[in-house]
Every structure is written in structure tokens, then in C-alpha cells.
Structure 1
């Protein structure tokens, strides 16, 4: 049962965030501190996970995936309650009734700087609770329910186009110049965030336009998945405004943008500097891998990225560890933090890229 329960780590990390918002003031940083501490230091201390168990009850793992929609709604509701002029959903009254704690008074004591860690923590959690499960679900292109839930999860980061570009663009062109998500050597993560976002959306629009043209359907209309994705995010933004006025809309928008930024940082570390010749097969060495235990548990094995790109149709619980694949300096969040300091990132990655060239460059005819 442990091998099932370990993938609930992102559910558990949602709780400190909700508790911090409830307690208010300096406790508002509890969510961010918990995520960074557990994932970064957990990777350093807990070592690697090479286990490849046989799962006899995959429905339990699918339940964890689909339940992420409930948890991201809880994050969304907590964010809006924290800035609403009313006791949204009667949450403050309910807390006082059951615990005796005056959550409304605590909320009234919040200052603007208390929301800085809230925004950062929410950005990370929306990416963990929303984008990561959505990545798995939107690969199940023949499952309408999986696609629907996955696209709604992505709507919380204003990134439903990911379901188009990632599946039909990125996986086809990974490691080549045509892939917006693959950062060439020497590009900083900050430049990559901007370029990958702009070019990724451009690619998603082109892919959808080609699909509709092939089906002889109008580009502008309800058949367009790119436009439907924008409407889904707009509906969430409108809901944020209705429930918590402009403060709610502003906070949600900032958190959504931070979540999208988090995704692009992940793209950056997963493929930085790797080169693949066009029209050649995608191999496990065309992605950076990590077998760090806590990162794997908190991301539905997204860390086993080498196998994911080699066999994209496999569900996350069948991905192999591939410890011999090119590896990141540490786990995902730790590598992301390194990437935010470009000189440090380049220094750590230089010997890894040199090793990659020695082992695989001739194979890829660089």
C-alpha cells in the first residue's frame, strides 16, 4: 500500500498552505516553506528511488490523479477567501465554531507583504497539484474524461494550450530547434520562460489550426481547443472577481502566472542543452532524468523523464527509473532553484553537458 500512498505527497503539501492562510500574518509563509523544505531537503536526505513495483490496483493511482481537481479548488478558494471583503463560503465562522480560533481577525491583520510567500507558494502548488497531474491526464488522448479534467487543471495556470503543444509538438520535436521547450546551451532560464511561453502558444495555435483545417471546421469557433482553453481560464478569472473583487482577480492572476512560470522552469531543466537531429528517434538520453525519491513522489514520476519521452504512452506508474540516463544535479525543485541563478546553473551543467557530448554526440551526429 505504501507504493500507492507515496504519490499522495502533493495532497499532503497542500495542507500547510491552507493552514497558513487560515492562521494569517507570518504563518502565511507556511505553505512555501513546507514545500521547499520537504522537497529540496527531502531529496538531499532521502536518496534515490529505483523501485519499479507492479501495481495491481491502478484505479487507486488514477483516483489520486483525478482528486487533484478537488485540491486545486481548495487552493483557489483559500486564495480568494484571504483577500475577500466578506467571510467567503463562511469559512472563518466555521473555523471559529470548530476550533475557537478567530480566523477573520487574523485575516484582518494581514499586510501586503504577507502575500508574497502566499503567491510564491500558490504558484508552486498550482503547478504541482494542477500542471503535473494534467500532464499525465492530457497524454491520455483517447480518454475524454481525462482530457476534460486535465484541461481544467491547466486552466488554473492559464495554460490549457499545454495539452496541445506538449502532446503534439514538444514530444515530436524535443531536442530540436523546432521545440520551444528545449533551451539551447547558454540561454538563461529567464529568457527561456519568455521565449518558451510565446513560441509554445504560437505552436499550439498552429497545431490546432492544422487540425481544424484537416477536419474542414472553422478556426474561430467552439471546435477550437486553443480558444476553449482561454475561455476556461477567463471563467476562473471572472469567478475570482465575482467572489473577491479586484483583489481576488489580481491575486489569482499572479499565482496563475507564477504556476506557468514554474512549468517553464521545469521544461528548462528537463531539456537544457540537449540536441537531437530532426527525424531521428527520441531516445532516453534526450532528456535529463533524476531518481531523487521525494521529487518522484511529489510529481507522479515526472522525474523519470527519460523513459517518459522514450515511451510517452505509458502511464506514470509504469515508468522505469533509468538510473543510467543523463541526470540532473539534484531533484527537480533543487535543480529549479539552481537554474534561477544562471552562473551557478551553467557551472553545474557544464561537466554534465561535456559528458553528454562524449557519450551521445557522435550518435546524434552533432
Structure 2
């Protein structure tokens, strides 16, 4: 029998598998269609909100030496995400998939009838549900892989994962701009105080794409290569997404392409909401190094396990090349109000978000900010909206 210590070490590997179990449950709910879709979505939200609320923090720092197992887990995200999206395409395809009749006969459940009886409202819930599932399987893992610049396979796999959410060019902007400019006005995903999430998401989507394009322009100019060519990683990123759209069209006609687009955009929006809450209101002088204090941190167990330690965001920004299994809890870093899914819910209600963040920002100003950062905050305060209506446009 394995020792208690062996079981404890094994758990630290197994805990990162649980999100894929969630995706499996999600796929079953999508496949069964109808009411199972919103029941599955409620189960998903409940697991992560209640889990973060009652299970506390994960402050463990185990030494995980079997990196091959962890890498296999990361690379498996691509086929798992594709499998989930294929099931989503089944919900809207006008074509007859012969193997679904065989599966119905095998299981004793009429999947074809279930698909036909799935309502438009249930399909709308499916967009949200699949958007969250895709965010965990593709966006989070893609983020981890595009940071592994020494491995072309890792970066390429990460870009394909991100292309599923119309964001392959995340690998350009995030690595070469966001990490260098975080908590400054030059970072399109760092939201100043008083800006609501809805206006910020629009600014972030436009800003990150403009930033990625400019980065590629400069890179290709140095290499004396045309910006309008396949040398341009930005253009290749959109071609990757186009390939995904064509596959969706082949599986489910224009309905599949439209459904895929809706799910991908939802996953992209979730990413920008997460960026908003990870960096809201924090500032840094451009000449200062990035430190753990320049990102909001969370050590909630379920969030960390589901997102491959991404909520340990303070360490990630202090040392962006550190792989997820080595990220530290940084207990002295500024702390997010809750776990990730819970915080997303709060962010979507701006007055509540601003109210809950007031004491946290005041604490950051008093205990983390230096003189230069306080001066930046004073300058920003002059631009802040004075009421909620003004904040809608800020």
C-alpha cells in the first residue's frame, strides 16, 4: 500500500485533473440536451462558487517532479476542447450523424429527439456553459503554453487552443506587451479605478488586437519581411480561427459556424472579464519592475485546481516564465475578493464591485503603493467618473 506521504503527493497531481472531469460532466449534459443543459450549468457554477466559499485556500507548495504527466495533462486539453465543441455542434447541426442513432440504441436514450426538443433558450444557456468550459480547457491551458517560449510545440498548441476563442494572437500581445506593461496606462487590459467591466472589455478587445498588430509590424520590419504575408503571426492567428470555423461549418452548416462563433466570443469575453478583475485599479511606474503587488491574487482551492494555479497571479506576473506547478501562493500579495467564478459574478454588477473593492484599494494604497504610485493614483483620480452613469462611458 502507498504511504500517506505518497498519497498526499499523488493528490497534488490528481487535483489538476478535476476540471476535465467537469468538462466530461458538461459534455454529458450537452449530449442529453433540453433541461440537462441548464441543470449542468447550475451544477458547474455551484461547484466552483460553493467550493471556493467553503474549502478555503490552497497554500501548499509541493515539489512535483513528474513534469511529463503534467505536460500530458496540458496537451490533452486540445483534443478535449475539440471534443466538447463537437458535442456542442451536435445541438445545432441540421445533418444526420449516423453514430448518434447507434449511441441512442446502445444507451437507450433518444439523443436525436432530445436535440430536436432543445429550445432556443436552452441553446443560449449552452453558449454560456460552453464558454466557461472552453475558458478552462482552452484559454487557461493556452495561456500556460504560450509562455513556454523555448518550445515551439507548446506555443503552437497554445495558439491553437486560443484560436478556439478567436484569440490566437493572445500569444503575441499577452507575452510581449501585457507582462511588460501591466499596471500601467500602456496595458490595454489593466482597468483604472472607476471603469466598469462592460466598457473595459470593449476597450481591451480592441486594444489587445491593435497591440498585437503593432508588435508584429515592428518584428517584421526588423526582419525586412512584408507585414501582409504568412510571416505575420497576427494574420496566421486569424487563419487558425478561420480553419476552426470551416470545421464547424462542415459539421453543422451555418448553424454550427454561428454557434461556434457565439461560444468562442463568450470564452473571449470571459477572458477579458478575468483580466479586468486580476488587475483592476492597480498602478505601477513604467520604470519600476513588476512585483507581486501589481496583480490581485487568490489561493482559493477550487479556483487554483481548476485553472492550473492561474489565480496565483501575483507570482505569475513577478516571474512569467515559471510553470504553473511551481507558482507560489504569495500570501503577502493583495488578495482578490473571492474565487474566480464568484468574482466574475460580482464584477458583472459594477456598483457592487466598486463598493467591495473600495476597502481593498484603500489597503493597497496604504500598504503596497510607493510615492510614485500614489502620485499616479492622484493623477488618475482627476479623470475618474463621479457617478455610475459617467462610469458607463469611462
Instruction: Flag whether TM exceeds 0.5 (same fold).
Output: yes
Would the alpha carbon gap of residues 105 and 153 (structure 1) be closer, same or farther in structure 2, given more than 3 Å must change? same
Is contact 2:291–2:317 with CA below 8 Å preserved after alignment? yes
Normalization by structure 1: what TM-score?
0.98
Deviations 1:266-311 (A, max 9, x none): 0000000000001210000000000100000000000000000001
Give distance in 1, aligned partners of 2:135 and 2:23: 12
Aligned pairs for 1:209-224 (under 5 A) are 209-224=217-232
Aligned pairs for 1:251-266 (under 5 A) are 251-266=259-274
Of 199, 202, 210, which aligns to 1:191? 199
**What's the counterpart of residue 287 of structure 1?**
295
Q: How far off its partner does 1:363 sit?
A: 5.2
User: Gaps (5+ residues) in structure 1?
Assistant: none
Aligned pairs for 1:160-199 (under 5 A) are 160-199=168-207
Give distance in 2, aligned partners of 1:52 and 1:98: 46
Aligned pairs for 1:110-259 (under 5 A) are 110-259=118-267
**What's the counterpart of residue 103 of structure 1?**
111
Q: How far off its partner does 1:107 sit?
A: 1.0
Deviations 1:76-125 (A, max 9, x none): 1011111112233x342232232111111111111111112100001111
Q: How far off its partner does 1:250 sit?
A: 1.1
Of 322, 325, 328, which aligns to 2:330? 322
Instruction: Tell me how many residue pairs correspond in the alignment.
Output: 365
Give distance in 2, aligned partners of 1:223 and 1:362: 43
Secondary structure of 2:270 counterpart:
helix
**What's the counterpart of residue 83 of structure 2?**
74
Of 43, 63, 74, which aligns to 1:34? 43
Is contact 1:287–1:305 with CA below 8 Å preserved after alignment? yes
Of 3, 9, 12, which aligns to 1:3? 12
Of 59, 75, 81, which aligns to 1:50? 59
Q: How far off its partner does 1:13 sit?
A: 1.0
Give distance in 2, aligned partners of 1:364 and 1:80: 52
Give distance in 2, aligned partners of 1:95 and 1:33: 26
Is contact 1:16–1:34 with CA below 8 Å preserved after alignment? no
Bigger Rg over Cα: 2
**What's the counterpart of residue 345 of structure 2?**
337
Normalization by structure 2: what TM-score?
0.91
Is contact 1:307–1:320 with CA below 8 Å preserved after alignment? yes
Is contact 1:123–1:259 with CA below 8 Å preserved after alignment? yes
Is contact 1:290–1:331 with CA below 8 Å preserved after alignment? yes
Give distance in 2, aligned partners of 1:94 and 1:71: 22
Secondary structure of 1:301 counterpart:
coil
* Structure 1 runs (4+) greater than 3 angstroms displaced: none
Deviations 1:297-338 (A, max 9, x none): 000000000000001110000000011110011001111110
Deviations 1:13-68 (A, max 9, x none): 11222111221111112332232111111000111000000012011111111000
